[in-house]
Structure 1
Amino acid sequence: MNLKPFAALICMASISFSAFSASDTTAQLVNKAKMESRAQASHNLVREADFKKTEQELKALKAQLEAKRTSIQNATDVLTQTFSDNENKLARLEEKLRLETGSLGELFGVVRQNAKELGAELSTTVNSVDRAEHTATVTQIMDAKSLPSMPQLTGLWMSMVEQIKASTELSKTQIAFINGEGNTQTVDAYRLGSIGLVTDQGYVNWNTQRQDAIAYLKQPSNGPALASLSALANGEVSNVVVDPSRGRMLEQLALEPSLTDRLQAGGVVGKVIIGFLVIGLIIALVRGISLAIARQKIRAQLKAPDQAGDNPLGRVLAVYNKEQNRTVEALELRLLEAVVDEQTHLEKGLSMLKLLAALAPMLGLLGTVTGMIETFQVITQFGNGDPKVMAGGISMALVTTVLGLVAAMPLLFAHNILSTQAENIRNILEKQGIGLVADQAEKRAESNPVGSPVGTVA
């Protein structure tokens, strides 16, 4: 059987089926491409419509901004022209004012300058308590931009005359006074010219802006009061302490430290030095009284040498009476022992006094070094621009030095005096002891023949 025609037929059928399948796939792809093309075209139309809408909006905004710019430019041109016209007009008016005022312009400058000086005086002087009638006129001239009028010039002159007269017056008035509790009360006061204001509290600090007064923190010694100024107003002679600086010296007086403030500035080292000084003075006082009593008793003992009393010389005499039967050499040693014992009692506490006198300046030097270290620390932290910041360390350095010297000098002086007194008493005891030994030796020499032993052992 011949199979070739059949195979050929099958091959042709396969080729025809493949061609049919390929053509179907191509058609699908074409249709899909056409659909995507139509969708893209639709999307492009929407985007184009949006672009055109945005373009129209931008064109409208541009036209609006250009119109606004044109309006602003026109307004700027108008204002520039107006400014130029005003400048020309102002220049013509200034020239006209200069020609019309002439030398009055210089007068106006002098008047304003004097008004400012007088206004500064009126803002601080105590004359404003009861002599400020023309102050408003002076203020008007200071603030004026035009030539002063004749009434204003007259008011300025009257204000000057008023202040001159007020500086020579001692007038009594009433003022608003703020006491230490912060309450305001009306009190009587004397205005001492333009120098100060005095109440029962003494000088007070007058505030022109608030129209009230407060007392200064510290008053000068023998400062004025209402009673003394009343006597002065009645024509009686009275010494009045015045502050020619118009309160500046009184303000500085409040800053002057007291003795307590200076001692507190010494810190712990200063307190230790003061403690040493107090202890040393107590020792010196006790030993001084003891030595004075001993000297009085010795003087009384010298008047009655036969009766040995309770005093240094009496105890030496008691040793002599007890040991006079011994040899001269033994008696001399016993008396010397008694004198040394008495000297120990007489010089008791003097070594401590000398030690305190030596320690005081050394502690002062320690405080000085400590204060300088503190000062350098402050300079390192805050710089040296403000001296007040360094005042604490410098005060400690100086105050402790002064305290050390002040403590050392009286202690050394007391030690010298007490040592001298103890030495004098010791000399008296030694002199009396030597005299007793000499008397005993003479007695032994008289009682024993030549070549015999001088003394016997008890």
Structure 2
Amino acid sequence: MCQSIKKNAVIASLILTASMIFSVGVNANTVNANNANANDLSSLSAKAKAEQIVENKHNHQRVVLSAEQRAKLQSQRDQLAKQLAQIEKQNAQLSETFATNEKILAEKSKTLQLATGSLGELFGVVRLAAKEVQSNYQDSLLGAQGQRFEAQLDKVISTDALPSLPLLTDLWQAMSYKIRTSSELSSVSISYVEGDGKTSTMPAIRLGDIGLVSSKGYLNWDFTRQQASNYLALPSDAPNLESLTANLKEGNKAVLLDPTRGVLLAQFANQPTLMQRIEQAGVVGKIILALLAIGLIIALIRGVKLMQTQQQISKQLKHPQTPTDNPLGRILNVYQKEKKQSVESLELRLLETVLDEQQGLERGLSMLKLFAALAPMLGLLGTVTGMIETFQVITEFGNSDPKVMAGGISMALITTVLGLVAAMPLLLAHNILSNRAESIRNTLEKQGVSLVAERAEKESDTRNENNPVPVGG
């Protein structure tokens, strides 16, 4: 690098000198008469030589400085090479030590496994049992009574050695106390949270570590806050403090229990009542129930009316000579008024009267039939509406949570059930009333035909009397 710098400096000075000589030669050729230019050339040459001397000194200094830096870097490189050699030597020594320790550890593990035998499995079982007992105490109704075993169970769980006899004894004491208290009925005083958020103390009976029974029935126990509150709903045969105390005094120990410590009782509140299900059906369900109510009222009124009519007809059959205000009596009145007419005219008049009475007997039955056909269609409408709502919910919130879709599906199914439930009694009522009306109509037709036949027989007898047939004729 220093040699190249020197060469560049020399070349630069030569170029400068040549240019100056060239310019001097040009000036000499162009102006031969001017001798004063010689002095200028000599001064320029002296100036170029002085600058060349300065440049050479500067280049010499740079060469000296570059050599010092190079020597310094070489010294650092040698030191790093020595350190790298030392590190590689240490790495080789550590690798040999690691391999030796691996062999020793494998031998020690085999020795430990042979020495412990089945005690290793026992250690795992003991720790697992201690964790389960600790979890049961935390989720039980024993409260502070079970917390005294907390430190003992922590020692069993956190130990790294094989279970010693004192640790096994502590675990046995915690488990035996849990088993013993699970079969006890004891009176306790608990912290109770009322509906308005106020906290009070009230007496209760603790059923082992399964449930709490107070004067309000079963209580929902908060294991975190150590407080009790009411369930949203309870079964009708759930005990309370008074009934449980009376049963215990009488020697009756049969009690309704929730072995899941309140999970089933909490789910019981999620079972909707009949009114809640009707509310879930929405407007369509209420319309179906309205049709059912109207149809049942019509069926009841028409059933009573047909029963009264049948009784009146039965009484009229016993006294045909005295017609009253009933369908058969009206037919008899028509017969008495029109009996002087011909048989054909009388038959037509009686048939007209029977048809009029049939319309009265079947009044309202067509409405029952319409309601019976309309109820399932409304149920189908509610089903479609509920499914549309469900798909809308899925579009907005996705289908990851089934509870979000439960409302629309419940509405769809309940309206379908209501439609079928409403259609079945209406169809049954329509069938029964139609058969009863048909029976009465058949009775009226039979009586009308018998009256026409009686009149035809009378006319035939009269005709035979007026026109006797000659003997032997």
User: Match for residue 236 of structure 1?
Assistant: 251
Q: Deviations over 1:348-377 (max 9, x none)?
A: 010011011011111111222222222222
How many angstroms does 1:235 deviate by? 5.7
> Secondary structure, in 3 states, of the residue corresponding to 1:176?
strand
- For 1:224 and 1:233, locate their aligned partners in 2 and report how far apart those are by CA, in whole Å: 12
Matches within 5 A, 1:193-212: 193-212=208-227
Change (3 A) 1:129 1:325: farther
Query: 1:289 Cα shift?
Result: 1.0
Question: What is the CA distance between 1:107 and its match in structure 2?
Answer: 6.8
State the shift of 1:442 in Å: 1.9
Q: How does 1:24-423 map to 2 (within 5 A)?
A: 110-128=125-143, 132-139=147-154, 142=157, 154-234=169-249, 236-423=251-438
Match of 1:433 among 428, 440, 448: 448
Q: Relative to structure 1, is the Cα distance of residues 102 and 344 closer, same or farther in structure 2, using a 3 angstrom cutoff?
A: closer
| Structure 2: 5+ residue stretches without partners | 1-100, 106-111, 468-473
CA, structure 1 residues 131+322, in 2 after alignment: closer, same or farther (shift >3 Å)? farther
Q: Deviations over 1:322-345 (max 9, x none)?
A: 222211111111111111111101
On the 8 A contact 1:276/1:356 being kept in 2, the answer is: yes
Shift, 1:116, TM fit: 1.9
How many pairs align? 407
In structure 2, give the amino acid aligned to 1:420. N
Gaps of 5+ in 1: 1-87, 92-96, 453-458
Question: Which one-letter code corresponds to 2:406 in the other structure?
Answer: A
Alpha-carbon separation, structure 1, partners of 2:250 and 2:185 = 11
Q: Distance in 1 between matches of 2:290 and 2:433?
A: 21
- Please report how far the alpha carbon of residue 441 of structure 1 lies from its aligned counterpart in structure 2 after TM superposition: 1.8
Q: CA deviation at 1:129?
A: 7.1
Assess if the C-alpha contact under 8 Å between 1:273 and 1:364 holds in 2: yes
Q: Is the 8 A contact 2:281 2:412 kept in 1?
A: yes
Residues 231 and 238, structure 1, Cα contact 8 Å, conserved in 2: no
Alignment deviations for residues 359-404 of structure 1 (CA, whole Å, 9 cap, x no partner) = 1111111222222222222222222211111112211221111111
CA root-mean-square deviation? 4.7
Q: CA deviation at 1:237?
A: 2.5
Deviations 1:42-82 (A, max 9, x none): xxxxxxxxxxxxxxxxxxxxxxxxxxxxxxxxxxxxxxxxx
Q: CA deviation at 1:408?
A: 0.7
- Work out whether residues 130 and 173 of structure 1, in 8 Å CA contact, stay in contact via their aligned partners in 2: no
Letter in 2 for 1:225: N
C-alpha displacement at 1:114, in angstroms?
Answer: 2.7
Letter in 2 for 1:366: L
- d(CA) in 1 for partners of 2:147, 2:334: 95
Q: Does 1:442 align with 2:457?
A: yes
Indicate conservation of the 8 Å contact 2:137/2:146, yes or no.
no
The answer to whether the 8 A contact 2:192-2:202 is kept is yes
Name which of structure 1's ranges 138-147 and 417-426 shifts more when overlaid on structure 2.
Answer: 138-147
The answer to whether the 8 Å contact 2:383/2:415 transfers is: yes
TM-score w.r.t. the length of structure 1 is 0.72
SS at match of 2:191: strand
SS at 2:190's partner residue? Answer: strand
Shift in Å, 1:108: 6.3
Post-superposition Cα deviations, 1:170-207, rounded to whole Å, max 9, x if no partner, equal 22222122222322222222222233221122221112
Stretch moving more, 418-427 or 256-265: 256-265
- Structure 2 counterpart of 1:212, one-letter code: Q
SS in 2 for 1:372: helix
Q: Which amino acid aligns with 1:124?
A: D
In the alignment, is the contact (CA less than 8 A) between 1:269 and 1:363 conserved in 2?
yes
AA aligned to 1:312 is P
Amino acid of the structure 2 residue aligned with 1:167 = S
> Matched residues in 2 for 1:365 and 1:160: separation?
58
Alpha-carbon distance in 1 for matches of 2:386, 2:446? 53
Partner SS, residue 306 of structure 1: coil
Aligned AA (2:258): D
Compute the displacement of 1:419 (Å).
0.3
C-alpha change, 1:348 and 1:210, in structure 2 (3 Å) is same
* Residues 152 and 167 in structure 2, CA contact (< 8 A), matched pair in contact too: yes
Distance 1:103 1:276, change over 3 A: closer
The 1-side partners of 2:120 and 2:428 are apart by 78
